[in-house]
Amino acid sequence: MTSRTVIRGGLVITAADEMHADVLVEEGRIAALAAHGSAPAESWSRSADRTVDATGKYVIPGGVDAHTHMELPFGGTSASDTFETGTKAAAWGGTTTIIDFAVQSRGQALRQGLDAWYAKSDAQCAIDYAFHMIVSDVNESTLKEMDGLVGEGVSSFKLFMAYPGVFYSDDGQILRAMQRAGENGGLIMMHAENGIAIDVLVKQALERGETDPRYHGEVRKALLESEATHRAIKLAQVAGAPLYVVHVSAQEAVAELTRARHDGLPVFGETCPQYLFLSTDNLAEPDFEGAKYVCSTPLRPKEHQAALWRGLRTNDLQVVSTDHCPFCFSGQKELGRGDFSKIPNGLPGVENRMDLLHQAVVDGHISRRRWIEIACATPARMFGLYPKKGTIAPGADADIVIYDPHAEQTISAATHHMNVDYSAYEGKRLTGRVETVLSRGDFVITEREFTGRAGHGAYIPRGTCQYLN
């Protein structure tokens, strides 16, 4: 194993700075940075075991995708990427840390769910990983368990206002979980959609014979996302707890978050590439192709995208994660032919996030430093991984991507590495591409060849949210 690597001549970009600097990596960590051409940098190159020429390239922190679902059981099937295939695909796309979700089933202890996810992922991952906990059964004993999990490094808990009978928590349960998180330092992550109302609209739509995928978008109304977002914010305020709203797609929901933040509340929002780049036009594709784009919250009409981009620029939205939850079109999405409510919810994307957000830089939506902030630094801080993850600084893990900002690529299922038979971005042309990826100093992608291995990835226990106190 190489112990001393120098990355020379690139433009190092972090959330804070851009600088032409050489990076010295020793024993899996970033040992030092020095101006390119300076005396120390020249001396490192002479003594290095390995030197990588990054001239003309960006040198950026590995991506932190704070929302993935490898092997998630959903609607009688299971997400098609395993921890092995999904983390390899993540590495190909310049992501070096994922935070996946362990799931508590109804009637189980949190511990049972978490242990099951530790077991599934153990020795499988190509990059580092951590867990949030999905809580589907808020009761006295699970509330107590939350305290222990925060101490164990699983410091965030996803609750659902949607999916009555499955993951759903009522307002009383939500309030109690928030109160507990307010006390133990945990962060509540919310799936904010009014699932009780949505289920009524689903039933009515199906009774009218509206069974195509596009009706998934019509019944899951933006108003029911913003109502739930508003309610979650108020409950968090009553509980005195911080709140992180996942997969925000509706402009009205962004408005709720913006108002809360301007009132000074510790409220945070995440959106996903699918809401920034895709729309209800995709859901309406003929021949059941729309099923490829069924996820919840749903894709919205194009007009919502401007509010999401604005939220990312004004920091009223802070994080872009993928909600990577792939289901093959053949045999999985097809379960919902004749009934959109049976289409498993989720899109593949863990491999595409860094590139799509770089395209947003090229298109002028965000700056280069904001790209790194929303995709690397802020998710690491939000979930207690910074500065080990999310930046390039002395002492940080050497999770580094050498990114070619001029390479052209076309996204396709024929060339992607995710274990799913379609791409939500098929045919999309992008400027910029990952060239080389280091994970804790090991080369996992080397000039567009996979050189890592399943089992290299380490489980990372997390601290608590670093935006509080």
Query: Cβ closer to Zn ion: 5 or 305?
Result: 305
- Using rule CB under 6 A, residue 462 touches ligand DUC: no
Residue 27: CB atoms within 10 Å: 12
Give the sign of the dihedral formed by CA 77, CA 80, CA 83, CA 84: positive
- What x/- string results for residues 191 through 210 when contact with Zn ion is judged by CB under 5 A? x-------------------
State both tokens at 35: 């101006």
Is residue 29 a contact partner of residue 43, using CB atoms and an 8 Å limit? no
Is residue 301 a contact partner of residue 280, using CB atoms and an 8 Å limit? yes
**How many residues at the interface with ligand DUC, by CB under 6 A?**
9
- Using rule CB under 6 A, residue 246 touches ligand DUC: yes
From the list 323, 355, 399, 442, which residue makes contact with ligand DUC (rule: CB under 6 A)? 323
CA distance 193 to 178: 17
The least CB distance from residue 347 to ligand DUC, in Å, is: 9
Among 272, 284, 348, 340, residue whose Cα is nearest residue 308: 272
The least CB distance from residue 460 to ligand DUC, in Å, is: 21
- Using rule CB under 6 A, residue 319 touches ligand DUC: no
Question: For residues 190-219, which are near ligand DUC according to CB under 6 A?
Answer: 191
Among 19, 49, 56, residue whose Cα is nearest residue 34: 19
CA distance 360 to 364: 6
CA distance 167 to 27: 43
- Using rule CB under 5 A, residue 316 touches Zn ion: yes
- Using rule CB under 6 A, residue 291 touches ligand DUC: no
316 binds, among Zn ion, ligand DUC, none (CB under 5 to 8 A by kind): Zn ion
From the list 68, 121, 345, 423, which residue makes contact with ligand DUC (rule: CB under 6 A)? 345
- For residue 298, what is the DSSP state? P
Tell the burial category of 231 from Cβ atoms under 10 Å away from its Cβ (0-12, 13-18, 19+): middle
- Radius of gyration of the chain from Cα atoms? 21
The least CB distance from residue 97 to ligand DUC, in Å, is: 18
- For residue 459, what is the DSSP state? B
153-163 CB burial, b ≥16 within 10 A, e <16: bbbbbbbbbbb
180 binds, among Zn ion, ligand DUC, none (CB under 5 to 8 A by kind): none
Overall residue count recorded for the chain in this entry? 469
From the list 235, 267, 325, 444, which residue makes contact with ligand DUC (rule: CB under 6 A)? 325
CA distance 154 to 158: 11
State both tokens at 251: 């402009």
212 binds, among Zn ion, ligand DUC, none (CB under 5 to 8 A by kind): none
- What x/- string results for residues 61 through 100 when contact with ligand DUC is judged by CB under 6 A? --------x-------------------------------
From the list 323, 351, 397, 404, which residue makes contact with Zn ion (rule: CB under 5 A)? 323
Is residue 89 a contact partner of residue 353, using CB atoms and an 8 Å limit? no
- Give the residue closest to Zn ion by C-beta: 191
346 binds, among Zn ion, ligand DUC, none (CB under 5 to 8 A by kind): ligand DUC
Q: Would you tell me which residues interact with ligand DUC (CB under 6 A)?
A: 69, 191, 246-247, 296, 323, 325, 345-346
User: Where along the sequence are the contacts to Zn ion (CB under 5 A)?
Assistant: 191, 314, 316, 323
